[in-house]
Amino acid sequence: MPITTEPTGRQRTPQRLGDRVFSGASTGAGVLILAVLAGVAAFLLVEAWPAVTAPAEDMPGGEGVALYVWPLLFGTLLSALLALAIAAPLSVAIALFITQYAHRRVATTLGYVIDLLAAVPSIIFGLWGVSQLAPLTVDPTGWLAENLGFIPLFAGPASSTGRTMLTVALVLAIMILPINTAVVREAFRQTPRLHEEASWALGATRSEMIRMSVLPFGRSAIIGGSMLGLGRALGETMAVAMVLSTSGGVTFNLISNGNPSTIAANIALQFPESTGIKVNALIASGLVLFAVTLAVNMTARAVINRRREFSGAN
Amino acid sequence: MSLSTTDTEPDERSAAAEPLTHGTLPASGPPLVLLGAIATGAVLWLLGWNPALSGIVAAVGYTAVVYVWSRAVEEARAARDRLITAVVSSAFLLAMLPLVSVLATVVSRGLARFDGEFFTHSMRGVVAEGGGVHHAIFGTLIITGLTTLISVPVGLLTAVYLVEYGRGRLARAITFFVDVMTGIPSIVAGLFAYALFVLFFGPGVRMGIAGAVALSVLMIPVVVRSAEEMLKLVPNELREASYALGVPKWRTILRIVLPTALAGIATGVTLAIARVIGETAPLLITVGITTSDNFNPFDGRMATLSVFSYYEYVSPGVPPEASLDRAWAAALVLILIVMALNLVARLISRLFAPKSA
């Protein structure tokens, strides 16, 4: 390096044209993604605005956009939370079976099968749910309505087609199982080997070992994975649209023909035939769905990322 | 426990047959109970019970029998261990039942119309029987192809940015929001594309490219995630060796980093295509459906396999059987494409894995 008397400041490598173009392009792509996400919110807001400002009687139902969206939001939350209640324990069991109980080679194959389940298009779950699962639920729900009818969830009268909130929750649970399981399985697999062996050395049975070292380690993954699954269930469209028979009211009755629809399913069912202000109303409901899923997903990611930071210390 | 038994010890010694520890179940015990439980479930099913219900009865029965038996013979902790093992295993088996049922149903009902006419004809002028998905297959391929054309460059460049250039707040924000973006409901992506195209073409717009934009919103984050993982796996020594030879950074990335990670990236892209090719909801509201061939994604409605299957199911013609058969056959074609893509992805990662690995 030549000795100079002038102060050169911070030394920089010369920027070649190719470098500048390439780093510019890749930064641009990253920024584009942020712009798209902001664009989703902006465009939905622009198209939803006419529905918010329109006079109440122009809305479907005639009582304004808030009362139009509320039953849909209720149905969305009810179906997704029910699905989560079914799927979360099952996914922990599946992840435990794959990581702790199954033979290693079997476990690899099983992991692949679970991933395949995630790849099955939702339209197929919809076809299956309405033609196979729904008829199967008719007799059990009839029994529930007769014998447990005093519980508001099973007030009945039981649907004779099986296209109920309960069936929807089951289909959604099956659909979110893979993503739930994938997150939990990954965390269980990373349980520190030394923790496991310490449990074994203390004479723990397998179930005690799991409770002492695997479950505490995977707790935040179970929460995060469940919330990711919840996000999926909230936004699931086709399966709900095909299975659920709706009447629009707000009810906790899970086994009757009159169910609240969900935001996503309602958009899919109404959009193709809608024009004018009705399209804006649908987009307004979509904006609500977007906000809810965004909040759920951001929380889930924050929980999962926090675990990642902690586990680095192990 | 040992203290209280010390005074009776001589008596127990004399019994001699009593082991010091608790007994254990015979090794073949639990499997035999399992066989019995499965047989019971099968008999109940054959007697006309609900298959799901007979499965649950079998699982609960197995769990109860093993627990009670173990409780009688073994110590309490071992019994609880067997209980939890049984619960976990039967929960796993129960969760597998729907998958088997879905695949079996799609194959058995889809085969009815899985014939030559189905693949060579569109629905133009078809009201009852006959007709096919020629238009829908090409629609799906064109729209998915456009989606890939948009998503792969954007996703790949973003992954390069995150791994090679990204530092600080922008990179962290992009990482976080890419994760969040994987959770955007597909219907919202469809609404976004519709709202975007309405600005240019006015209300009621339906065209293939809008569907491709909607699917790209869903596909880009998947591509970024998988490509980022793969680029991180490229050893730093390779980059440093290249810099030491005086190769500029952009050429290092293009000639060293990307080729090394190519197999993994190709696998990720194939899986991402498999994810979006079966999407229904965004196409339903951006592309719609048509009965005849339309291979121009910039001009009006197109047919796609998933939307075709949906409409054949919800609005069947007269008689409905022909439409339902077409819906199931389209579902079968879709699931075959998805399975094939998954298989191709595994083949790519196996065949083109880096030699050094």
Of B102, B158, B181, the CB nearest to A120: B102
Q: Is residue A157 part of a domain?
A: yes
Domain count for chain A: 1
Asked whether the bond before B153 is cis by omega within 30 degrees of 0, the reply is no
| B98 Cα to chain A: minimum distance (Å) | 7
Q: Report yes or no: A240 and A164 within 8 Å, Cβ to Cβ.
A: no
Indicate the pTM of the whole model: 0.85
Helices of type H across B165-257: 168-181, 186-201, 208-233, 236-244, 249-252
**Final residue belonging to a domain, choices B110, B142, B169:** B110
User: For the CA atoms of chain B, what is the radius of gyration?
Assistant: 29
- Residue whose C-alpha is closest to residue B106's, from A248, A156, A120: A120
- Residue whose C-alpha is closest to residue A115's, from B341, B109, B218: B341
Q: For A211, which DSSP code?
A: I
Q: Is residue B149 part of a domain?
A: yes
Cβ contacts of B171 on chain A, cutoff 8 Å: 30
- Dihedral angle computed from the Cα positions of residues B248, B254, B256 and B261, in that order, rounded to the nearest 10 degrees: 150
Q: Is residue A64 part of a domain?
A: yes
Of B106, B176, B248, the CB nearest to A16: B248
Of B192, B279, B314, the CB nearest to A242: B314
- Residue whose C-alpha is closest to residue B96's, from A215, A207, A93: A93
**Final residue belonging to a domain, choices B48, B78, B110:** B110
Q: Report yes or no: B202 and B282 within 8 Å, Cβ to Cβ.
A: no
* Largest pairwise CA distance in chain A: 96
Report the alpha-carbon angle B275-B156-B139, nearest 5: 40
Q: Which of residues 205-234 of A touch B (CB under 8 A)?
A: 205-208, 210, 228, 231-232, 234
Q: Which of residues 292-311 of A touch B (CB under 8 A)?
A: 293-294, 296-298, 300-301, 305
Dist. CA B192–CA B36, nearest whole Å: 55
Q: How many residues does chain A have?
A: 314
pLDDT score, position A312: 40
pLDDT score, position B18: 53
Mean pLDDT of chain A: 84
Cβ contacts of B278 on chain A, cutoff 8 Å: 119-124
**Helix, strand, coil percentages, rounded to 5, for chain B:** 75, 0, 25
- Residue whose C-alpha is closest to residue A189's, from A212, A208, A211, A217: A217
Q: Is residue B277 part of a domain?
A: yes
Q: Which domain holds residue A297?
A: 23-311
Residue A146: half-sphere exposure toward Cβ, Cα within 13 Å: 6
Q: Is residue A243 part of a domain?
A: yes
| B331 Cα to chain A: minimum distance (Å) | 6
- Say if residue B163 is in the same domain as residue B286: yes
- Say if residue B50 is in the same domain as residue B25: yes
Q: Is residue B248 part of a domain?
A: yes
Q: Is residue B356 part of a domain?
A: no
Helix (H, G, I), strand (E, B) or coil at A173: helix
Q: Which of residues 48-77 of A touch B (CB under 8 A)?
A: none
Q: Is residue A14 part of a domain?
A: no
Cβ contacts of A290 on chain B, cutoff 8 Å: 184-185, 188
What percent of chain A shows pLDDT beyond 70? 92
pLDDT score, position B6: 44
Q: Is residue B115 part of a domain?
A: no
Q: Give A134: exposed, middle or buried? Use CB within 10 Å, 0-12, 13-18, 19+.
A: buried
Dist. CA B204–CA B189, nearest whole Å: 17
Give the mean model confidence (pLDDT) for residues A135-148.
82
- Say if residue B189 is in the same domain as residue B125: yes
Name the band, by pLDDT with cuts 50, 70 and 90, for residue A35. Answer: very high
Dist. CA A126–CA A121, nearest whole Å: 9
- Residue whose C-alpha is closest to residue B159's, from B238, B218, B225, B216: B225
Q: Which domain holds residue B150?
A: 120-351
- The residue that leads in pLDDT, B51 or A69, is A69
Q: Is residue A187 part of a domain?
A: yes
pLDDT over 80 (residue A310): no
Of B156, B158, B335, the CB nearest to A33: B158
- Say if residue B39 is in the same domain as residue B150: no
**Final residue belonging to a domain, choices B110, B145, B176:** B110
- Say if residue B253 is in the same domain as residue B338: yes
Q: Is residue B299 part of a domain?
A: yes
Assign residue A46 the CATH number of its domain: 1.10.3720.10
Q: Is residue A13 part of a domain?
A: no
pLDDT score, position A31: 92
Domain count for chain B: 2
Helix (H, G, I), strand (E, B) or coil at A259: strand
Name the band, by pLDDT with cuts 50, 70 and 90, for residue A170. Answer: very high
Helix (H, G, I), strand (E, B) or coil at A246: strand
Report the alpha-carbon angle A135-A136-A137, nearest 5: 90
Q: Is residue A9 part of a domain?
A: no
Q: Give B7: exposed, middle or buried? Use CB within 10 Å, 0-12, 13-18, 19+.
A: exposed
pLDDT tens sequence for chain B (357 residues): 444 444 444 444 444 455 556 677 777 777 788 888 888 888 888 887 777 778 888 888 888 888 888 888 877 888 888 888 888 888 888 888 888 888 899 999 999 888 888 888 888 877 777 888 889 999 999 999 999 999 999 999 999 999 988 888 899 899 888 988 888 899 999 999 998 998 888 888 889 999 999 999 999 999 999 999 899 989 999 999 999 999 999 999 999 999 989 888 998 999 899 989 989 999 999 998 888 888 888 888 999 999 999 998 988 877 888 888 999 999 999 999 999 998 898 888 888 765 554
- Say if residue B159 is in the same domain as residue B125: yes
Cβ contacts of A293 on chain B, cutoff 8 Å: 183-185, 188
Q: Which residue of chain B is at minimal alpha-carbon distance from A177?
A: B95
- Say if residue B174 is in the same domain as residue B269: yes
Q: Is residue B357 part of a domain?
A: no
Interface probe with A: pick from B174, B191, B258, B323, most Cβ of A within 10 Å: B191
Cβ A124–B106 below 8 Å, yes or no?
yes
| ipTM associated with this complex | 0.84
Cβ contacts of B335 on chain A, cutoff 8 Å: 120-121, 124
Bridge partners (DSSP) listed for residue B99: none
- Say if residue B276 is in the same domain as residue B221: yes
Bridge partners (DSSP) listed for residue A259: A246
Q: Is residue A12 part of a domain?
A: no
Cβ B166–A30 below 8 Å, yes or no?
yes
- Say if residue B143 is in the same domain as residue B22: no
**b/e per residue, B56-79, with b = 16+ CB within 10 A?**
ebbbebbbebbbebbeeebeeebb
pLDDT score, position B3: 45
**pLDDT, tens only, A200-245:** 999 888 888 998 888 888 888 888 888 888 988 998 888 899 888 8
**pLDDT, tens only, A86-109:** 999 999 999 999 888 888 888 888
Q: Give B106: exposed, middle or buried? Use CB within 10 Å, 0-12, 13-18, 19+.
A: buried
Bridge partners (DSSP) listed for residue A246: A259
Cβ B188–A279 below 8 Å, yes or no?
no
Cβ B85–A206 below 8 Å, yes or no?
yes
